[in-house]
Amino acid sequence: MESAPGRTVPEKFRGLDSITTEDPSQYENDAFFALRYLRPAINYYLSEMIFAKKLLEFPQKLSDSPWSIAVTKSQGHPTIGFSGTNDANRLLPLGVEPIGLGEQKHTNALVLNCLLHPDNEVQDIREPLPAVGPRSSPHHSGPPPANEILHHVARFKPKIRAILDAGAQIVGLGNGQAARCWLELVPDEDIRAAIFFNAAEDLCVVERDGTTEPFLTSSYVTNTAAYIVFLDQAHTRGTDLRLPNHYRAAVTLGPGLTKDRLMQACMRMRQLGKDQSVVFLVSAEMRRSITRLCNINESSEIKVADVLYWAVCETWRELERLAPLWATHDIRRQRQQLLWDRAGTDRDKTCDPDRRYRFEPRTAAQFLESESQTLRERYHPSQEQARPTLTGEIANLDAALDAKGAELAQIRERCLEFGVDSLATSASHEEHEHEHELQVQREEERQHASQELKPYQSSLHQDVEAFVVTGVIPVRFDSFYARLQRAGRQQHQPPPQAPRSLPFDLLATVDFTRTVHPPEPASAGPGWVSDEYQRPVQ
């Protein structure tokens, strides 16, 4: 945008933090028309969206499904699991029946009722503070900077003693940095330290002089009233800290925050609804999202009930996003089970009773699924109607799965309950697998760069056998070789950080050091070393 000529881009769009994807009207009416002809914007769109590295795919993929774990066992052994919430019951495999304890049914309403206590409230953090300085754009509409959130929290009355970053709004600062920055803003002399999780997942305490030590070995284990607590999003679940009864926590809200994650974060305050309380921090972006959903004026006061309603709706959206992946897992398992059954039938035709399955190459290849797409298949407008649909996938299986017709009908019914019929979105939840596979592929390509040389014939010297039996190295150890000290027979290039003088008693067998015949001098070039052809030593 800085390279835009003249006044083609309005002043209010000169900063990236002035544009938010959560405001469709801003995008459709202003931002798109101002940016659509800018060459940097076009180049960015092509490199990051159309030809993005993450779109590099393999022609085929071999996938398994979590449903394979939950499938009914032929031996009758049950599959048992535990979940702390029943929000995701609709996404459990059909063979898994959730068992709700009658005496625990009231807990969902109990937690919500604790949050509706009058001591809990909602606070705006959309206005910049003079002490922090102006934002990069006067039309800022995204989340506020991390240090600005901390300044807001430090000014609240009653005082905040814990920050629960459930919405992942405090970005740009590490946990230790955020804890130290907040501690500096707290003027109370009775607060002497801040608690946080470091990069190694250890609970640490930092004092005002910057001293950091493990929390469990510090004096603050028993002096709970002398510290403040900062928990990032990952640690707002499963962390158990005994906080004083009068503590008040600030809870951040962010896009996609479901009811379960919000409740888990708030329940870090074990006395919530009694003596402890929480404050929900609402940025301009989140205010717009909540007011639009609750159909209230954007300038109106947001209540705790509005926040809870928004979180419940986000939970439904999350279930709708995951429903295609849930259906894909079952359809994949059904298709693969057909192949396993077919392999077992083919096994019965063989004469080998110890062989459980017999796979013909054509049968084994059917486990593979197509993955890569051409640019035309991916982006051509007419392909909107050609995307895989739930109805079509189930219809393809109906003929071969007469016995499973009832299960397929349940899959169809549940997806239609969420208003889902396209399976195209399920691929977006598997991108992390592609990145890992691409790294492995890149590593293999590097190892193929060595020059092809004729290998030595491997042999075992009798002195080596004697050493293995007796543990004594012969006086004349012709079968041994001080490889790293003597460079006369096989050259070695030490790494840059290696010491120039290596111990003389570091020996290797001749068979170990002689892996390939050295190349001819004309093709070897100056400084040829044999490191690339040596066996790795762990």
Q: What does the alpha-carbon distance between residue 17 and residue 465 come to, in Å, rounded to a whole number? A: 71
Q: Are 509 and 497 in contact (CB under 8 A)?
A: no
pLDDT at 369: 84
Give the DSSP H or E segment for 488.
none
Q: Quote the CA–CA distance of 480 and 108 in Å, as a whole number.
A: 72
Bridge partners, residue 509, by sequence: 480
Decide: helix, strand or coil at residue 225: helix
Which token pair is 21?
């994807």
pLDDT winner (highest mean) among 18-22, 273-277, 490-494: 273-277
User: In the prediction, which pLDDT does 14 show?
Assistant: 65
Structure letter (DSSP) for residue 236: S
pLDDT in tens, 400-430: 555 566 777 888 888 888 777 665 555 545 5
The pLDDT value recorded for residue 74 is 58
Question: Are β-strands 369-370 and 212-214 bridged in parallel, bridged antiparallel, or unpaired?
Answer: unpaired
CB 215 within 8 A of CB 201: no
Closest CA to 204 of 231, 184, 181: 231
pLDDT class for 253, splitting at 50, 70, 90? very high
- Listed in sequence order, the residues at least 6 apart from 350 whose beta carbon sits closer than 8 Å to its beta carbon are 358
SS3 (DSSP) at 265: helix
Distance (Å, whole) CA 18 – CA 30: 12
- For 122, the enclosing helix (H) or strand (E) is strand 121-124
In this structure, the dihedral spanned by the alpha carbons of residues 118, 124, 129 and 132, taken in order and rounded to 10 degrees, is: 100
The residues with which 481 forms a beta bridge, in sequence order, are: 508
CA–CA distance, 308 with 167 (Å, rounded to integer): 14
Instruction: Write down the residue that tokens 């430090």 correspond to.
Output: 154
Task: Note if the bond before 158 is cis, omega within 30 degrees.
Answer: yes
pLDDT at residue 101 greater than cutoff 70: yes
Least confident of 14-28, 245-259, 297-311, 384-398: 384-398
525 φψ region: left (φ > 0), alpha (ψ -120 to 50), beta (else): left
Give the pLDDT confidence of 261-316 residue by residue, as tens digits. Answer: 999 999 999 999 888 999 999 998 899 999 999 998 878 899 999 999 999 999 99
- Please report how the helices 390-398 and 405-417 are oriented relative to each other, as an axis angle in degrees rounded to 10: 170
Average pLDDT of the chain to the nearest whole number: 77
The total of other beta-carbon atoms located within 10 Å of residue 337's CB is 15
Long-range contacts at 372-378 (CB < 8 A, ≥ 24 apart): 372/57, 372/58, 372/59, 373/57, 375/50, 378/55
| Residue 276, pLDDT score | 93
Going through 296-445 in order, the beta strands assigned E by DSSP cover 369-370
Q: Is 194 helix (H, G, I), strand (E, B) or coil?
A: strand
For residue 527, with 0-12 CB atoms within 10 Å meaning exposed, 13-18 middle and 19 or more buried, which class applies?
exposed
Q: Are strands 248-252 and 277-282 parallel, antiparallel or unpaired?
A: parallel
Q: What does the pLDDT look like over 170-210, one tens digit per residue?
A: 988 899 999 999 999 998 878 999 999 999 999 999 999 99
The class level of CATH for 118-302 reads alpha beta
**Concatenated DSSP letters of 433-478:** HHHHHHHHHHHHHHTT-SPP-PBPPP---HHHHHHHHH----SS-T
User: What is the DSSP track for 42-70?
Assistant: HHHHIIIIIS-GGG---SEE----THHHH
The β-bridge relationship of strands 60-61 and 369-370 is antiparallel
pLDDT tens-place string over residues 49-88: 888 777 777 888 888 877 777 776 655 677 777 776 788 8
